[in-house]
Structure 1
């Protein structure tokens, strides 16, 4: 905890409240504690703990926990059970929003990250920026109505999208969605909410999600690759998201510009015509044909894997991750992992483990929830100068 200097009583109250909330929130799951247990857990005096709990109860963040079944038995001999207090995870909510080429998805959770509702809607890849944003707003409104969550209880919103996203939520470059480059996405979304809105690249959100609830749990040095025709990647270094100076870290899809002979849309083509960059069904069909023994599809798949290895190896050599998670549309296709593992063994000084995403198409929206939750937890459970994670 940060050392306290000076005699600012408001700062002292803030620190004490943070310490008590941390104890009730727990390292993994919330827990109900007695005042005596809170004194031991926080190192604060009993009168201080009593005052803090009272203040947190008035703020709606803490309440007395109900007695557990059987807890009151034998009260004639032992007296009334000690009162226990719990963190009210339902005191607020966070929202995750994915805005992609083919769909928008919204996810709502309580303040512990327990997901209480999800909703996804298709959107045309040719939709304008205004049409896509309106689809996202309608999806959010429908989800909040279905889950009986008031918009006023939202404490933060995380949003994720393809492209290079600046710190203020502006999409500096977004070629996958019409009208997306230069879009002040964060500003546009903030018009719909009364809470902070944080915007992040979809691969970055994906690696946060896999670290939280997916294939990368317990692993702090991770690269997640969204393996499309123009792949992108998100990276955790020491458990922290690496965005780069301008938010462009992991844009490995640009490597074809460095003298590679094939543009991305031609890699999986089995004819002289390039595939549409967003046509995932056509890509899946090429992989299916390759598995069935089609010669042209097999060569196309080999080109794709070589390109994927080239791109992933660049990040692996630079970052030396423990784990590479493969997501995006390729996460559901057989035949990617074994060749990728074998080629990384050849290219890399120390080959990482390679696995498929466990969250699949839910990764980006789940990562958006994690982004919002991180913001809320920083406000609730951290004081200025605190270095604890």
Structure 2
């Protein structure tokens, strides 16, 4: 075994690494004793005791004094990660809404603000509404921009390395928007921009229906169809950010699949195109033959692209999400049967459990991942918001 010689110059870095080890051991765990932290880190109890006290002094941890309920012996002190040391934002910039979620460093949601926005709103109007939502979220929670450690904004369309939707987006004029630069006028922390389907997939693995899976295909089923991919536990973007955009291939029939619902015979003229699908789903539940036929045709088209992804990636689970997931009771069995017919191995198909908040929750998770990447590779003098590289 090679002996590691520690010089005087190495000692501060060694202490920093040991402190980082204890922070890692506190993250995502309930309040822990010195003994428990020692077991997780492999450090000695005396070393952990000193480090934990230092983390309390510096603001990274809180000390929970033992209660008086124990009848035998002296109860052990417990330490917990101070999740309130910083906060992150996850923002869903959608076609019809803008939703901001504010969370502490453990992912506990502190506040949320949701505003409606017109689908045909131009970039200026949508950005102004975004600014209002973020301002309201911070103000109502008593936070300032300097309290935010990372922001992730979810947008519709494939996102390239610069954070732009240069390939395609249904948001009018949005391909010209530099959202990172826009937000950097107010925030000095890391700012990420990512595709909504990808973030919804991340959310399902974090808090939703795919928490037990490392290989996931997430389907966003609505008036727009998309997919997010998690392989080996890692969100996959692809070289240019367009991974999962299989719907761009006309042969998979995703582009026109919602038309089966919009053009269903019997939809009243008073029902708008955006509300036609909801009318069809309700009619199908009541046994309407035309509505059931429209749903079947929609699912058959949806299954073509889904099968292509399943055959390529062999996921453990397919998550059925998006706006249409509220009618999963009508479609999941149909989708399963189609996948059984088209695929060599059929993965489990599950409905999303996160609803309309899934994209914003995924944005929160990506912000938290960014904080951890920087937190666990930087110094630990005192909690301070990381700055953009």
Contact 1:220–1:239 under 8 Å retained in 2: yes
Q: Which of residues 346, 354, 361 is equivalent to 1:351?
A: 346
> Alignment partner of 1:164: what SS?
coil
Q: 2:222 aligns with which of 228, 240, 244?
A: 228
CA contact (8 A) 1:24 1:33 kept: no
* Distance (Å, rounded) in 1 between the aligned partners of 2:363 and 2:252: 35
Q: CA RMSD in A?
A: 2.9
User: Offset at 1:231?
Assistant: 0.8
Matches within 5 A, 1:309-388: 309-333=303-327, 334-381=329-376
**Map of 2:13 onto structure 1:** 11
Equivalent-residue separation in structure 2 for 1:5 and 1:357 (angstroms): 53
Gaps of 5+ in 1: 385-389
Q: Output the CA distance in 1 between the equivalents of 2:252 and 2:231.
A: 29
Once the two structures are TM-superposed, the CA of residue 265 in structure 1 deviates from its matched residue by: 5.3
**Take 1:4 and 1:372, find their aligned partners in 2: how far apart are those partners?**
36
Report the counterpart of residue 291 of structure 2 in structure 1. Answer: 297
**Structure 2: distance between partners of 1:378 and 1:260:** 39
Q: How far apart in 1 are the matches of 2:369 and 2:124?
A: 29
Q: 1:90 aligns with which of 61, 65, 84?
A: 84
TM-score for the superposition, normalised by structure 1: 0.86
Match of 2:26 in 1: 24
Deviation at 1:69, TM superposition (A): 4.9
- 3-state SS of paired residue (2:174): coil
Contact 1:173 1:182 survives alignment (8 Å): no
Deviations 1:78-103 (A, max 9, x none): 5x655433211111111111000000
1:65 and 1:89 map into 2 onto residues whose CA distance is 14
SS in structure 2 of the partner of residue 230 of structure 1: coil
Change (3 A) 1:20 1:295: same
Cα gap change, 1:41/1:227 in structure 2, threshold over 3 Å: closer, same or farther? closer
Go from structure 1 to structure 2 and tell me whether the alpha carbon gap of 1:297 and 1:40 turns closer, same or farther (over 3 Å shift): closer
Q: 1:208 to 1:68 in 2, by over 3 A?
A: farther
User: Deviations 1:161-181 (Å, cap 9, x if unpaired)?
Assistant: 110111331222343211112
Partners of 2:40 and 2:76 lie apart in 1 by 16
Please, what TM-score do these two structures have when normalized by structure 2?
0.86
Superposed counterparts of 1:265-304, under 5 Å:
266-268=259-261, 269-270=263-264, 279-304=273-298
Per the alignment, do residues 368 and 259 of structure 1 end up closer, same or farther by CA in structure 2, a change over 3 Å counting? closer
Residue matched to 1:49: 48
* 1:63 alignment partner in structure 2: 62
Question: Do the aligned partners of residues 45 and 297 (structure 1) sit closer, same or farther apart at CA in structure 2, a change above 3 Å counting?
Answer: closer
Helix, strand or coil: the match of 1:368? helix
Measured against aligned partners, the alpha-carbon deviations of 1:164-220 in whole angstroms (never above 9, x if no partner) come to 111331222343211112422222222222211111111110011110111001111
The one of 153, 173, 188 aligned to 1:159: 153
Q: How many residues are matched?
A: 370
1:152 is displaced (CA, Å) by 1.9
Q: Distance in 2 between matches of 1:207 and 1:21?
A: 27
Counterpart secondary structure, 2:243 = coil
Q: Deviations over 1:214-233 (max 9, x none)?
A: 10011111111001233100
Post-superposition shift, 1:24? Answer: 1.9
